[in-house]
A and B are shown apart, each in its own frame.
Chain A
Amino acid sequence: MAQVQVRDLDISFGALKVLEKLNVTAEDGEFLVLLGPSGCGKSTLLNAIAGLLDINGGQIFIGGKNVTWEEPKDRGIGMVFQSYALYPTMTVEKNLSFGLQVAGVKKDEIRSRVGRAAEILQIEPFLKRKPANLSGGQRQRVAIGRALVRDVEVFLFDEPLSNLDAKLRGELRVEIKRLHQRLKNTVIYVTHDQIEAMTLADRIAIMRNGVIQQLDTPHIIYNKPQNLFVAGFIGSPSMNLLRGQLTTVAGKRVFSAGGLSMPLDRYEFTSGAPDAAPAVLGIRPEHVAIGDDATKMPFAVEGEIEVVEPMGSDTVAWTKVAGQSFTFRCESEVQLHVGQKLKIGFDPARGSLFHEETTNRL
């Protein structure tokens, strides 16, 4: 049982309030990702959970125990840092065993735990090497190993893959996921990379200016973002945001922009959504159909291609809908060229509607 619970956490640096009355819970065995742009307070939150940062108010519970005043070593956590933070003067083996030696663990026990971690992470061949003689991926594996040997129930990851090149990042991402599936520890993982968040997380907490904007499964965050910030932050290329008006005509809600009106019959409105308001309709580029498929959609309009970006696996193209910039994604086999006119269609019910002033989901 290693639930991590943060209650009413306040952290400020001088006059600057970084976190205010923040509440978040990571369930036992859950992979929780804290996602947000830099400066949103996600690393601050992680450091507070680790006990590496003095807090100004609130409580932190790990495994049902109040650890608010405990030292990091007594919190039952292992931590992995962005810069690996391996002790440069020690061999890999020493790096792994240092914490255990400090804690006074018996030599046999140390050897078996280091051996087990090295086996899991496949770093046995490097045990006698110094960190300087390892590649980035190997170093990060050792850093994970250092958390592993502590035999703790909670792992804290602070942007562990941000220093690696794209290929290694992809490989280690899968390894971290595999590791979590095998060990079933509670993991709190900080990143600014939405792909990492989407692929790894059981739940994602999207943070901005010290406030959690939305805390939900990747699926719901992707399909039903709570507000404009989340909608714009998740997804690449990012969601199309069309500015317009929400109106009700003959008991049916309609979104209108630039003279076009889009039916919202099957859209699931949140309770208490107004009948009329200035609104923003968000449509994911990958939910847009073109050509013949477009005419089958509840809404379709003619558009002219302005820019084409072939990605290899698919193609992203820029056009205009209702006079506003609009991107869509299609298969790479489809031949597109600049200036081409074609039908663009989408289902507004599959999109997300936001109030323009409050920026909240309608």
Chain B
Amino acid sequence: MSAATMDGNVTAATKQPTGPKPKRVTIGRIGLYAFLIISAAFFLIPVYVMLITSLKDMPEILSSNVLTPPLRPTLQPWIDAWLHACTGGDCSGLSPGFLNSVKITVPAVIVSIGISSLTGYALSFWNYKGANFFFGLLIFGAFVPYQVVIYPIIIGLRTVHLFSTLPGIVAVHTIFGMPVLVLLFRNFYAGVPIELFKASRVDGAGFWQTFFYIMLPMSVPITTVALILQVTGIWNDFLFGVIYAGRPNWPMTVQLLNIVKTTQGIPQYDVNMAATIEAAAVPLIIYFVSGRWFVRGIAAGAVKG
């Protein structure tokens, strides 16, 4: 009798909520996942089409469905795009443009990040007169439409003999990168405890020593964010490149356009697709390599170390 009562108690007890709350699959959740999967597919299909088209030869492209994988995969379009594709009369492919893009991107990224981190540091820690006004002016710069300043910049660069030169285009990218980058760095340094700066002053470190020994080494996360923003932005830039770089320095994007649009007869889809992927490869690789740091950098503002 008593055993039966005990059993009854046990069953009753199991019905009581204990331990972790069970997770149930709801219709809302299924709908949510379905939506996410469809959205992902929507954005991935063009990439897929580009990739498979670049691995087919022309006859196969013309005879097969867009979505069908290549039957006879070939890397020839990639090689053609890199070395032999024609822009106007010049048939040396994308490779010269790639070199130009490197020559523009590397110095522009280094210079813009260098200047911006220094400016952000000065704005955050060295409270000089007019700092806020200067910062406001810089942020205002982020809202100036490019079209308004294109021609004045041409005249400006021409006056200092930098129009149609590498240093000219590097300078333009540096200046246009500054508002966002300075904002980024200033806000990052604003999150650094002011006592750290005070401690370094008591230790006798000056403006530059505090920057190079204390602040810069702490800035790895935010520098990574800036690096990704700048590499992607400058590498993908078309407008400034075509206007300010000058024909011998045209970046890859300008050459890509020329390759895609100068075709006689049937467009060479395979080469065009391969060229596009080649042009997009650098920002993609940068993102995959440093994506982890990117997220960490974005989150760094929210969590204090």
Which A residues form the contact surface with B (CB < 8 A)? Answer: 47, 50-52, 71-73, 77-79, 81-83, 85-90, 98-99, 102-103, 132, 146, 150, 158
Determine, out of B147-155, B176-184, B199-207, the stretch whose residues face the partner at the interface.
B199-207
Contacts A/B (CB < 8 Å), 15 sampled: A50-B198, A50-B202, A82-B195, A83-B195, A85-B193, A85-B195, A85-B196, A87-B196, A89-B217, A99-B202, A99-B203, A102-B204, A102-B209, A132-B305, A158-B195
Candidate in B198, B199, B209 with the most chain A CB atoms within 10 angstroms: B199
Task: Give Cα distance in the complex from A50 to B214, angstroms.
Answer: 20
Quick check: is B142 within 8 A (CB to CB) of the other chain?
A: no
Cβ–Cβ contact A79 & B199, under 8 A: yes
Find the B residue at minimum CB distance from A87.
B214
Choose from A52, A86, A87, A89 the contact partner of B202 (Cβ within 8 Å).
Answer: A52
Task: Give Cα distance in the complex from A103 to B209, angstroms.
Answer: 11
Quick check: is B213 within 8 A (CB to CB) of the other chain?
A: yes
Cβ–Cβ contact A99 & B198, under 8 A: no
Please judge, given known A-B contacts A83-B195, A85-B196, A89-B217, whether A52 and B201 are in contact too, CB under 8 Å. Answer: yes
Please judge, given known A-B contacts A88-B305, A89-B217, A89-B218, whether A102 and B205 are in contact too, CB under 8 Å. Answer: yes
Please judge, given known A-B contacts A85-B193, A132-B305, whether A73 and B201 are in contact too, CB under 8 Å. Answer: yes
Q: How many A-B residue pairs have CB under 8 A?
A: 63
B-side interface size class: 10 to 19
Cβ–Cβ contact A72 & B202, under 8 A: yes
Closest 5 CB pairs of A and B: A73-B204, A99-B203, A89-B217, A85-B195, A85-B199
Cβ–Cβ contact A79 & B202, under 8 A: yes
Task: Give Cα distance in the complex from A272 to B218, angstroms.
Answer: 62
Residues of A within 8 A of B209 (CB): 102
Cβ–Cβ contact B203 & A52, under 8 A: no
Residues of B within 8 A of A71 (CB): 201, 204
Cβ–Cβ contact A73 & B218, under 8 A: no
Residues of A within 8 A of B201 (CB): 51-52, 71-73
Cβ–Cβ contact A81 & B199, under 8 A: yes
Please judge, given known A-B contacts A102-B209, A132-B305, whether A87 and B200 are in contact too, CB under 8 Å. Answer: yes
A111 to chain B, nearest CB (A): 17
Residues of B within 8 A of A158 (CB): 195
Task: Give Cα distance in the complex from A99 to B204, angstroms.
Answer: 6
Find the A residue at minimum CB distance from B205.
A102
Cβ–Cβ contact A73 & B305, under 8 A: no
Please judge, given known A-B contacts A87-B214, A89-B217, A132-B305, whether A98 and B203 are in contact too, CB under 8 Å. Answer: yes
Task: Give Cα distance in the complex from A171 to B217, angstroms.
Answer: 33
Please judge, given known A-B contacts A81-B195, A83-B195, A88-B305, whether A73 and B214 are in contact too, CB under 8 Å. Answer: no
Cβ–Cβ contact A79 & B198, under 8 A: yes
